[in-house]
Amino acid sequence: TARAAPARNSLAAWEALRDEAAHCTRCHLYQHATQTVFGEGPVDAPLMLVGEQPGDQEDLAGRPFVGPAGQLLDRALAEAGIDRGTAYLTNAVKHFKFEPRGKRRIHSKPDAGEITACRWWIEQELLLVRPQVVVALGATAARSLLGRTVTIARERGHAIALPEGGEARITVHPSFLLRIPEEDRKAKEYARFVEDLRAAAARL
């Protein structure tokens, strides 16, 4: 549906958007998730970070990046000299997608249709916040932002202009770092991740 872009940096417009997203049925994921996990942070943040989708803990809390991946992200942001409270954090897909396994809920990757359906929300967030720099955490976020498949290894470290304005920079997802079993490789990849965040902040 075509409609006017939300007012730039307006808290009231952001609240209206968040309240509307709480009732989103643009794809089927709302049926099993606890709630929509909308973005959070200052509505005039110069830096936006985009993840994939809420995980188990985010789904329950209703806030992005509060689980294990969020804790790793917090540590990396601090090391990169970025105050989390100054950034706007959101996800490409705003409902948790999972497979039940006993009492546990195992994260499953959003597909292209779900990413496209949810693209409307991130577009509204971009138009409202108008960040200078948007960091895509992982391939799903990059795909949502750029509207095409993205190979992180190839496009990492580049600045890519966004249709909504500002530039996107691509790095890995913190969950990828959590899954690396070898300690030395994990440390190396983590350091690279911190460097990517630092490079993004240097563009502000």
| Touching ligand URA, residues 45-74 (CB under 6 A) | 51-55, 58, 64-65, 67, 69-70
Instruction: Provide the minimum distance between the beta carbon of 47 and ligand URA in the complex, in angstroms, as a whole number.
Output: 16
- Closer of 141 and 201 to ligand URA (Cβ): 141
- Closer of 135 and 194 to ligand URA (Cβ): 135
- The residues near 179 (Cβ < 8 Å, ≥ 6 apart) are none
In degrees and rounded to multiples of 5, residue 78 shows phi and psi of -60, -45
Instruction: Mark 71-100 with x for binding to ligand URA (rule: CB under 6 A) and - for no binding.
Output: --------------------x---------
Say whether residue 39 binds ligand URA (CB under 6 A): no
Instruction: Mark 164-183 with x for binding to ligand URA (rule: CB under 6 A) and - for no binding.
Output: -----------x--------
- Closer of 17 and 69 to ligand URA (Cβ): 69
What is the β-pairing status of strands 98-101 and 104-107? antiparallel
Say whether residue 196 binds ligand URA (CB under 6 A): no
Instruction: Provide the minimum distance between the beta carbon of 33 and ligand URA in the complex, in angstroms, as a whole number.
Output: 12
Residue nearest to ligand URA (CB): 51
Instruction: Provide the minimum distance between the beta carbon of 109 and ligand URA in the complex, in angstroms, as a whole number.
Output: 11
Q: What is the DSSP string of 85-129?
A: GGSEEEESS-S--EEEETTEEEE----HHHHHHHHHHHHHHHHHH
Chain contacts with ligand URA (rule: CB under 6 A): 51-55, 58, 64-65, 67, 69-70, 91, 175
